[in-house]
Structure 1
Amino acid sequence: MTKTTKCISPIDGSVYLERPVLSLTQATDAAADVRAAQPAWAARTLSERIELVRAAVAEVGRTTDRMAVELAHQMGRPVRYGGEFGGFEERAAYMAGVAETALAPITIEDSDAFLRQITREPHGVVLVVAPWNYPYMTAINTVAPALIAGNTVILKHAAQTLQVGERMAEAFHAAGIPAEVFRNMVLDHDTTSALISGRHVDFVNFTGSVAGGQAMERAAAGTFIPVSTELGGKDPGYVRADADLDAAVDTLIDGAMFNSGQCCCGIERIYVHDSLFNAFVEKAVALVRGYKLGNPLDPDTTIGPMAHVRFAKLARDQIEDAVAKGAMAHIDAFPEDDGGAYLTPQVLTNVTHEMDVMREETFGPVVGIMPVHDDEEAIALMNDSRFGLTASIWTRDTDAAAAIGARLQTGTVFMNRCDYLDPALCWTGCKDTGRGAGLSVLGFQALTRPKSYHLKKA
C-alpha cells in the first residue's frame, strides 16, 4: 500500500489534499537526478541563472488570486489579506540584485608574480524544508539564492501546505528552470532524515520547531553537512515611556495577532513602562475585541482559524494554565470559537515568567502584557527566554534603542516596528531559535563555500 500524507483544512476539518509519499528508493533516485543536474546548472552564467529565477518569480505572480484562496484552505489565512506574492517577490528580487556583488571573487593580489583569490562555490544539492505558516515567503528565502548561486534544490514542504511546493515547481519549470534543478518532493520524516544522513544532499535549510531542528542536526551528525535552522521564537516588544502609544498598540497587537499569531517573528509578550501600561492595555483590548473571527474565505473575516486543531489546543492550554495561576484574560469567548481550530484571540495581564505563556512559544493569537519600571527591568525580562529571533523597542530615542538593542540576546532589533523581514539584513537568531544566515549578502555566503586560489605565475 502506498503511504500518503494529508492536508487537513482548518476551515472545516476536511481533507483538502492527499499526496503519495516517496519511498526511500524513489527519494534517493530523485536526489541522484538532482545531483547529476547540478554541474550543468552551475556552469550556466550567473546572469542566466538570475534571469531564470526572476522569470520563475514572475510566473508565480500570475496566480496570486488563486494563491490567496489556496492558502485559506490549507492554513486558514483570510483571503482579505491576499497571498504572499509581495514579500515573495521582494525577497527574490533583492537577492537577485545583490548576487553579482555577493558572489564576486575577492582578489588579494593580481600581479606579474601571483594571482591570489577567494571564490564562492555552490555546495551542490540544497535541501529546503519549509514551514506552513508563510509557505511561499519562507521557501523563497533559500530557494532563490540557492539556485542563483549554482546549487540545485530539493524542496520538501510541510504537509499543511503541500500545494505550495507543487505550485512553485509548476511555475519554476514553466519559466525554464529544469525539473531536475528544482525538485519538489513529498517526503516523510524518516526519508528526509535518510537523505541527510546518507549524504544525498549537501546543505540543509530548515524552518520549523525546535524538535524538528534537533532532528535535522541528528540526521546530519558526522556527515559535516551544514544545517541552517530557524526554529521560531518568543519575541518581545518593549514600550518605553516616551513611545508613541497609539502606534505601539496598533503595530504590536497586529504583530501578535496577524495570521492568527502564527508568525515565527510575531510578538508573543509585551513589556510596557508602568506610566503607559493601563492606557496600552485598554487600547489593545478594544482593538482585539473588534476582530472578526470566521471562515477565511469570507472577505469580512479579519482573523481565521489556526492551521490545525492541535496548534489551537496548545494555545488554549497556555491560556488556561496562565489564568489558573492568576492571569487575567480580557477577551470573552467569541461566538465563532468552536473549541477547535477557531480560537478567540486573547490579551492577558497579571502574567509572570512562571507561566508557559510568557516563556514557551505559543504560535497563536495570544499575548501577555506586563508593566516594567525602567529599561533595566525590560532588558532582563526580554532576555529571560530560551529563544532569540527578534525584539521590538518603542521609543522616540534612537540612541536609547541602539543601546538597549546591544544588550539583547536576539537576531534582529526593531525600533518602532515589528514582525517584518528586511531582505537586505541577515535573518538570523540565537539560543534555541537556531543558527544560520538567511537573505542579505550573508545568505549567499551561507549557500556557498569559499575556495582559495594561490597561483604562482611563470
Structure 2
Amino acid sequence: MTKMIQCISPVDGRVYAERPALSLPDAEEMAARARAAQPAWAARPLEERIALVQAGVAKLNEMKDRVVEELAWQMGRPTRFGGEFGGVNDRANYMAEIAAETLAPKVVEDSDKFRRYLAREPVGVVFIIAPWNYPYLTTINTLAPALIAGNTVVLKHATQTMLVGERLTEAFHAAGVPEDVFQNVYLTHDVTEALIGQRAFNFINFTGSVNGGATIERAAAGTFAGVGLELGGKDPGYVMADADLDAAVDGLMDGAMFNAGQCCCGIERIYVHESLYDAFVEKAVAWVKTLKLGNPFEPESTLGPMANKRFAHIVRDQIAEAVAEGAEALIDPALFPADDGGAYLAPQILVNVNHEMRVMREESFGPVVGIMSVKDDEEAIAAMNDSPYGLTCSIWTADPDKAAEIGARLETGTVFMNRCDYLDPALCWTGCKDTGRGTALSALGYYSVTRPKSYHLKKVTK
C-alpha cells in the first residue's frame, strides 16, 4: 500500500498538501537516472552550467507571489516578510561568481619536464535532505554549488514544506536544467536509509535534528559517501559593557523572535554584562510587546504560528519547567490573544534562569529566550561554551579586536559582532560539537561537492 506524505498547515490545522511516497524500487530507479545523467551534465562547459543555475533562480523569482503564499500555509511565516528571495539570490550569485576560480586546476608546475596540477571533479550524485524553517535558503546553499560543479542532485524536502521541492525543480527545469539532473522526491525514512546504504549517493547534505544526523551517519557507514550535517543549535549572544544598548536589544531580540524563533542560528540565550543587565531586560520586554501574533496572511502579523503544534508543545514545556524551577516569565501571554494552546504561541522572555534548566541547554527552536547577567568576559565565555551545540555566537561591543579575541575562545562555527542570525555567502557556514560537521557556502562549499584529483605528467622519459 502506497504511503501518503502529508503537510498539515499550522495556520488552520488542515491537510494542505499530500503526495505519495516512492517505493524502494521506484526510488532506486530514480537514483539510477540521476547517476546516468551525471556524466553528460558534467561534460557541459562550466559557463553553461552556471548560466542554467542562474536562470533557474530567475525563474523561481518569477514565482514569488505563489511561493510566499505557500510558505505561509506550510510553515506559518507571515507574508509581510516576502519569502527568502534576497538570500537565495545573493547566495546563488556569489557561488556562481567564484565558481571558475574555485574549480580551476591549481598548477604546481608547468615546465619543459613536468606538468603537475590539482584538479577538482564532481563527486557524482548529491542528495539534499532539506529542513522546513528556511526551506529555500537551506536548499540553495548546496543545490547551486552542486549543480555548478557538475553533479546531479536529488532533493528530499521536509514534509512540512513539501511543495518547496516542486517549486525548485519546476523553476530549474523551466530554465533548461534536465529533469534527471535535478529531481525532487518524496521518500519515507526507511527508503531514504536504504538508498544511502546502497551507495546511491556520493554526498549527503542533511539539515535537521541531532538524532536525524546520527541516523544519516549510521545509514552511510561503510559507503564512504561524504556527509555534511547541520544539526541543532543553542546560539548565544553576549552584550559587553561598551555595547550600543539599543542596537543590541533590537538585533538580539529580532534574532530570537523572527520566524517565531525557528532559525538555525537564532538567538536562544543572552548574557548581558551586569552594568547593562537591568536596562537590557527592560528594553527587551518592551521590544517583544510590540510584536503581533496572528494569522500569517494578515498584514499586521509579525509572528505567525509555529510550523507544527508539536513544536510549540516542546517550547511550552520548556517554559513551564523553567518557571517551576524558579525562572520568571516577563511576558503575559494574555497580551497575545491569538495564542491558542496549539501552533500559535506567545513569545516569552525568561530571567532568573540557569544552565540546569532545559530551556537554557536544549534547543527550543521557538519564540523564547533566557537572559542572564554576567560579571565579566570570563564568565560570559564559560557560559557561552557551556552547551552541546556550536553554530554561531553574537558579541555586542565597540571593540572588534576584543570581539575577535573572545571569539577565538568560543566553540562555534561563526563569530558575529554587532549582528546575528545571518549567513555571509563569502564565509563558510559550519558548526562544531552536536551542531554537526561539514561546510557550505564560500569557496569551501565547493569542496564538499567535489573531490580532488592529482595530475603528475612527466614530459620526458629520463
TM-score higher than 0.5: yes
Q: How many residues align?
A: 458
Partners of 1:133 and 1:263 within 8 A in 2: yes
- Among residues 419, 431, 434, which one is paired with 1:432 in the alignment? 434
Using the alignment, how far apart are the partners of 1:214 and 1:138 within structure 2?
Answer: 19
Matches within 5 A, 1:402-421: 402-421=404-423
Deviation of 1:232 after TM superposition, in Å, equals: 2.5
Asked if residue 281 in structure 1 is aligned to residue 281 in structure 2, the reply is: yes
Partner of 1:88: 88
Q: Which residue of 2 aligns with 1:366?
A: 368
Give the drift of 1:262.
0.2
Partner Cα separation in structure 2 for residue 25 and residue 37 of structure 1? 19
* 1:388 is the counterpart of 2:390: yes
* Letter of the 1:70 counterpart: E
For 2:305 and 2:427, locate their aligned partners in 1 and report how far apart those are by CA, in whole Å. 32
CA offset digits 1:9-67 (Å, max 9, x no partner): 00011000000000000001010001000000000000000000000000000111111
SS in 1 for 2:456: strand
In 2, Cα distance between the equivalents of 1:13 and 1:123? 41
Letter in 2 for 1:378: A
SS in 1 for 2:242: coil
Q: Deviations over 1:348-372 (max 9, x none)?
A: 0000000010000000000000000
Tell me the C-alpha RMSD between the 2 structures.
0.5
Give CA deviations for 1:289-347 in whole Å, capped at 9, x if unaligned.
11110100111101000000110000000000100000000111121111000001000
- Specify the SS of the correspondent of 2:115: strand
Aligned to 1:157: 157
Could you tell me whether the CA contact under 8 Å between 1:237 and 1:252 is conserved in 2?
yes
Q: Distance in 2 between matches of 1:386 and 1:166?
A: 35
* C-alpha separation in 2, matches of 1:108 and 1:180: 37
Q: Where in structure 1 do 4 or more consecutive aligned residues deviate above 3 Å?
A: none
Partner of 1:399: 401
Q: Secondary structure at the match of 2:196?
A: helix
Which of 336, 341, 350 is residue 348 of structure 1 equivalent to?
Answer: 350
**C-alpha distance in 1, partners of 2:355/2:23?**
45
TM-score, with structure 1 as normaliser: 1.00
Partner of 2:179: 179
Segments of structure 2 that go 5 or more residues without pairing to the other structure are none
Cα distance in structure 2, aligned partners of 1:309 and 1:23 = 29
Matching residue of 1:227: 227
TM-score by length of 2: 0.99
Q: Secondary structure at the match of 2:195?
A: helix
Q: Which runs of 5+ in 1 are unaligned?
A: none
* Counterpart amino acid of residue 381 in structure 1: A
Task: Answer yes or no: is 1:327 the counterpart of 2:324.
Answer: no
Alignment of 1:311 with 2:311, yes or no, is yes
Provide the rounded CA distance (Å) in 2 between the counterparts of 1:100 and 1:69: 36
Report if aligned partners of 1:213, 1:229 keep a CA contact under 8 Å in 2. yes
Contact 1:232 1:265 in 2 (8 A): no
- Identify the residue that residue 257 of structure 1 maps to in structure 2: 257
Q: Is the 8 A contact 1:202 1:226 kept in 2?
A: yes
Partner of 2:197: 197
In the other structure, the counterpart of 2:450 is 448
- Give the SS at the match of 1:287: helix
CA distance in 2, matches of 1:116, 1:204: 31
Instruction: Answer with 367-376 or 284-293: which moved more.
Output: 284-293
Structure 1 Cα separation of the partners of residues 66 and 353 of structure 2: 41
Q: Which residue of 2 aligns with 1:55?
A: 55
Partner of 1:299: 299
**8 A Cα contact 1:259 1:303, kept in partner:** yes
Give the secondary-structure state (helix, strand or coil) at the position aligned to 1:421: coil
Looking at structure 2, the residues matched to 85 and 19 of structure 1 have their Cα atoms a distance apart, in angstroms, of: 26
1:419 maps to amino acid? D
Q: 2:213 matched to which residue of 1? A: 213
The match for 1:17 is 17
Determine the structure 2 residue equivalent to 1:101: 101
What is the percentage of aligned positions where both structures have the same residue?
70
